[in-house]
Amino acid sequence: MAAAEKRRAAPAAGGEAGRAAPSTNGVPENEAEFLLQAGVNDMVREAILKVLEARPEQPVDFLAGYFEKLMQGSPEAAAPTAAEDNGDPQRQHQLRLDQALWYLRLAHQSHSRMAFNNNVSLAYESLSIGGRRKKPGVNGKLYSEVLRMMCQDRGASEETVLPFLRKIMCRDHEAVPFEVFRYGALTCLVLLEFLTKADALYDTLDDGSGAADKRVCMAVLSTLEEALRASDVSVPIRYLEAGSKLGPDCLALAMDKALTERKVSMAMKKDEFLKRASAIFAAKVKSIG
């Protein structure tokens, strides 16, 4: 990342002196002059640097999203840089977190190992840049903060993910090695994907009133728990593989069985359903420390 920053700061090939002089009437005389005046060269160079830093699985899609955000004037079009901190320690701290989160947004568990590791490594490096009196490295406080930001970024409430976070967080003063950081980031990303699927599943159970039959919800959650228990989920990514084994027939049988029970049932709200799903996930996560 440091090398990329140096390249970004470097002037265009040939320097200012090598730039074509604008015509006297303000109209570009040739293609090269037009590109220079329009700032296209710098724009494309910056986009290429972002691709090299992020190493996305789909570079064309990444560039399309990058330029779309650039057109919208979004601050997310490019990762924040430490150069923007203006000497303010609090601002510098927030920029480090924002930059790490930017790289983690690019990381996805379905990407190749190299692409995923590269983005997580850049996030780790963003956090580990030391201040004037601080040694480089990531401590438990920064690690925990960025995990919370990942969850907030995807709309997951802290109450929902709290059981999970408790298992993978480190003490504020502890040094967090890269492998621990990688495991925490990967497991957090898988949980968020798991909750997205659970959210969609709940929507199919909702009768349109904003709530679902509690008997049916509990039956579905129990079936999901059984699928995770019967699978080898020592590797976080396999949580999703286990969940995918819940075919329509399996769920339909569990739901029918629940409805045939002659018991008075209350409604279950989505928040409670997601908290229970998160707790099922957290119970299988390997604790750090």
> Which tens digits make up the pLDDT trace of 241-287?
555 555 555 555 555 665 565 555 688 999 999 999 999 889 888 88
Q: What is the pLDDT of residue 266?
A: 82
Lowest-confidence segment of 26-35, 187-196, 204-213, 257-266 by average pLDDT? 257-266
Question: Of all helices (H) and strands (E), which one includes residue 267?
Answer: strand 267-268
Q: How many CB atoms lie within 10 A of CB 192?
A: 18
> Which tens digits make up the pLDDT trace of 115-160?
788 889 989 998 986 544 455 679 999 999 999 999 999 999 999 9
Lowest-confidence segment of 201-210, 212-221, 260-269 by average pLDDT? 260-269
| Three-class SS state of 212 | strand
Tell me, rounded to whole angstroms, the distance of Cα 50 from its chain centroid: 17
Whole-number Å distance between alpha carbons of 286 and 283? 8
Q: What is the pLDDT of residue 1?
A: 47
Tokens 């709200």 belong to: 269
Whole-number Å distance between alpha carbons of 202 and 200? 5
> Hey, what long-range contacts does 66-73 have (CB within 8 A, 24 or more apart)?
70/43
Percent of the chain with pLDDT over 70: 66
DSSP annotation of 20 reads P
CA distances (Å), origin 255, targets 143, 221, 225, 244: 40, 10, 15, 17
**Is the sign of the CA dihedral 158, 164, 165, 166 positive or negative?**
positive
Question: Of all helices (H) and strands (E), which one includes residue 268?
Answer: strand 267-268
Whole-number Å distance between alpha carbons of 8 and 111? 26
Which one, of 208, 225, 207, 219, lies nearest residue 256 by Cα? 219
CA distances (Å), origin 236, targets 110, 136, 142, 178: 12, 29, 22, 17
Predicted confidence (pLDDT) at residue 83 exceeds the cutoff of 60: no
Q: What is the pLDDT of residue 255?
A: 57
- Mean pLDDT score of the chain, rounded to an integer? 75
Predicted confidence (pLDDT) at residue 230 exceeds the cutoff of 50: yes
Q: What is the pLDDT of residue 111?
A: 66
Q: What is the pLDDT of residue 235?
A: 54
Is pTM, for the whole model, over 0.85? no
DSSP annotation of 177 reads -
Q: What is the pLDDT of residue 13?
A: 43
Whole-number Å distance between alpha carbons of 97 and 145? 8
